[in-house]
Chain A
Amino acid sequence: MAFFLETLLGGLMAGMLYSLVALGFVLIYKASGVFNFAQGAMVLFAALAMARFSEWAGVWLGGDQLFLANLIGFVGAGGVMFIVAWLIERLALRHLVNQEGTTLLMATLGIAYFLEGLGQTLFGGSIYKIDIGMPKDPVFWLESVFQGGILINKEDLYAALIAAVLVAALSLFFQKTITGRALRAVADDHQAAQSIGIPLNHIWVIVWCVAGVVALVAGMIWGSKLGVQFSLTTVALRALPVVILGGLTSVPGAIIGGLIIGVGEKLSEVYLGPYVGGGIEIWFAYVLALGFLLIRPQGLFGEKIIDRV
């Protein structure tokens, strides 16, 4: 029982991180109708920028001012993400207004490749580490109930907390601010939004910036867990089923989808894996999402898809 709970909690923590990446997908799709395949590359790019900037800042400040160095790194990487967002809008998306969803998807694939190459050219292609001073020691819960208690990583706990705060802030931003409402209007209908005076170009820059910041936070947390390296882009591939499960247009969907996928992955790996040779985590998530799609094509919280000729 304790082992089951431990697995479950581990799944929930991992799921929280998936939903953080998934959130990037949802934000861009919700606000501009683009399915952003480059989210993984953005996570890598942002994490690389932050790792390198904080490293350089650390050297420049001369040693033990970890917080300040990280702050400089974070702000610097945020600035870089802003430039990236602006350039993406300027060079690619502006020319693809009113194209079909699949064309935009393929364009983001191109952007993903470009960012992967650029990130490694600018910041180097080895493994870097981000140390934001998260405590790494495990804690034990419920020691009185189970023998030995339930082992939880403190790091995971903090990561989940950061993710939760970010999600809450973004939900508020989307629901309560004028900009948020404009973003949702653009997602609904580009042309209609333009015709009532919403500047499409600004909206796209804003939303890619927000996605960039989300990517930065995701990259920071993943990076401090696993180290910043090329394989970080695969995190996005693991977050895709989350988006599908939760629905492309729903922020709560990304969270709950993430939790379901995280738990499903861990439980399947631990309890089903041994029978079929292990390593089933990655496709199990996809098959879970796929099976769900067959029942509910718009995902858990997605808006109903209505086809018109």
Chain B
Amino acid sequence: MFYRENGQFKTSYRADQQILPISQDRLAMAIILVIAFAVVPMLASDYFFRAILIPFVIMALAALGVNILVGYCGQISLGSGAFMAVGAYGAYNFFVRIPGLPLIPALILGGLCATVFGILFGLPSLRVKGLYLAVATLAAQFFADWMFLRIKWFTLDAPSGSVSVASLQVFGLPIDSAVSKYLFCLSVLAVLALLAKNLVRSAIGREWMAIRDMDVAAAVIGIRPMYAKLTAFAVSSFIVGVAGALWAFVYLSSWEPAAFSVETSFRLLFMVIIGGLGSILGAFFGAAFIVVLPIFLNQFLPLVLGLVGIEISTAGISHAELMIFGALIVWFLIVEPHGLAKLWATAKQKLRLWPFPH
């Protein structure tokens, strides 16, 4: 019913190859974009922006990057936090050392720093894979943690590696209010998500997926594993790096290396698992879930436990949060390995025929 496709004829290859071939999808996407860009800024409160929307948008971007590496190319990475850190500190160095450098080039240069770093630490993926690679990427994490804490050059001799940026602007417009921050991050996300979507459905995206599904077989049919794996590392770490720079510049505005600890890496991986491995949409779902869940638990748990007469401390909530996170991950891996994105795809399938079951 909602996804009635009859009558929508494709008369050219071009039309057949669109990102959203069904007109309902195009309409829905247009509505979502209008809501995100126009309606939300009018309705949401300042708290809502700072606590939920801005973190969600930036984390969705980071999860998108991680999903390219983990979901599409199958190279499991526990070092995403390091790529974010490199993006953030790279952008910071360019921003501060080159006077008058606009924000957007600084972000892109930060992303490129992360790309170089990502390729460097992606090199082991040519020799090892799977579990060994997961540990190898942890090396990137610990190295970055150490680098930004101890090498003073990166932080302009700031003690304990904490730095800050101020007076951001894009094309002369200041980015200081919550709404402008949100809109800026959202624009970056929209552009990069479109690029990523196009990349994964192009030749290179199919190469990544071939490597993910069975790398030896992919190599046999003529896909170069080195090229495919390293491009995946490069694209992924670029996006993650830009997300890291946004997180640092726009969301935190003053930060230290601990902001990108190994915990961040795990969180990003969870977003990808819960959202859906190998799905652009999944990155959004996963980020929304992981960003909202702690806030939700903070509000909701004391309330529910209060009803049964149990008082819960802040530490208790954080322990409960750990348990719920852990249980959810295991549950998702068992019940729905393709994550929330798969649930949405199933719902869509049902909506084609709704209200009739057959």
Contacts and interface: CB of A to CB of B under 8 A. Distances in A.
A241 B135 contact: yes
Contacts of A140: none
A101 B130 contact: yes
A309 interface: yes
Contacts of B217: 309
A125 B146 contact: no
Contacts of A106: 76, 269, 273, 329, 333
Interface residues of A, number: 48
A80 interface: no
B329 A113 contact: yes
A91 B333 CA distance: 12
Interface stretch (A129-137, A163-171, A218-226, A274-282): A274-282
Interface string A73-116: 00000000000000000011001100101110111011111111
A118 B327 CA distance: 11
Contacts of B327: 110, 114
Contacts of B269: 106, 109
B203 interface: no
B174 interface: no
B166 interface: no
A159 B325 CA distance: 35
A304 interface: no
Interface in B327-346: 327-330, 333-334, 337
B266 interface: yes
B98 interface: no
B298 to A, nearest CB: 15
Interface residues of B, number: 48
Given A120-B319, A283-B142, A297 B132 contact: yes
A117 B320 contact: yes
Contacts of A241: 135, 139
Interface stretch (A9-17, A58-66, A284-292): A284-292
B322 A237 contact: no
Contacts of A102: 74, 76, 130-131, 134
A294 interface: yes
A52 B76 CA distance: 37
A151 B139 CA distance: 32
Given A106-B273, A290-B124, A117 B319 contact: yes
Given A105-B131, A110-B333, A115-B326, A280 B319 contact: no
Contacts of A91: 330
Contacts of B142: 282-283, 286
A257 B134 CA distance: 18
Contacts of A243: 135
A102 B334 CA distance: 13
B132 A280 contact: no
B131 A95 contact: no
A283 B150 CA distance: 13
Contacts of B330: 91-92, 107, 110-111, 114
A203 interface: no
Contacts of A110: 325-330, 333
Contacts of A95: 334
B139 A287 contact: yes
Contacts of B270: 109
Contacts of A112: 326
A150 interface: no
Main SS at interface, chain B = helix
A141 B114 CA distance: 50
Contact of A103 (B135, B315, B333): B333
Contacts, number: 140
A144 interface: no
B127 A297 contact: yes
Contacts of A279: 146, 149-150
A160 interface: no
Contacts of B337: 99, 103
A294 B151 contact: no
B186 to A, nearest CB: 29
Given A101-B130, A309-B216, A121 B334 contact: no
A287 B136 CA distance: 8
A88 B215 CA distance: 31
Given A105-B134, A106-B273, A294-B127, A282 B326 contact: no
A240 interface: yes
Contact of B150 (A278, A287, A293): A278
B136 A105 contact: no
A307 B326 CA distance: 32
A28 to B, nearest CB: 12
A111 B139 contact: no
Interface string A212-250: 000000000000000000000000010011011000100
Contacts of B334: 92, 95-96, 107
A283 B323 contact: no
Contacts of B175: none
A283 B146 contact: yes
Contact of A283 (B143, B316, B319, B326): B143
3 A-B pairs with least C-beta separation: A114-B326, A117-B322, A110-B329
8 contacts: A35-B134, A105-B134, A110-B329, A113-B322, A120-B319, A282-B142, A286-B135, A309-B216
Given A109-B329, A278-B150, 7 more contacts: A95-B334, A105-B134, A111-B330, A114-B322, A237-B262, A240-B138, A286-B135
Interface of B: 74, 76, 124, 127-128, 130-132, 134-136, 138-139, 142-143, 145-146, 149-152, 214-217, 220, 262, 266, 269-270, 273, 315-316, 319-330, 333-334, 337
Interface of A: 35, 91-92, 95-96, 99, 101-103, 105-107, 109-118, 120-121, 125, 237, 240-241, 243-244, 248, 276-280, 282-283, 286-287, 289-290, 293-294, 297, 307-309
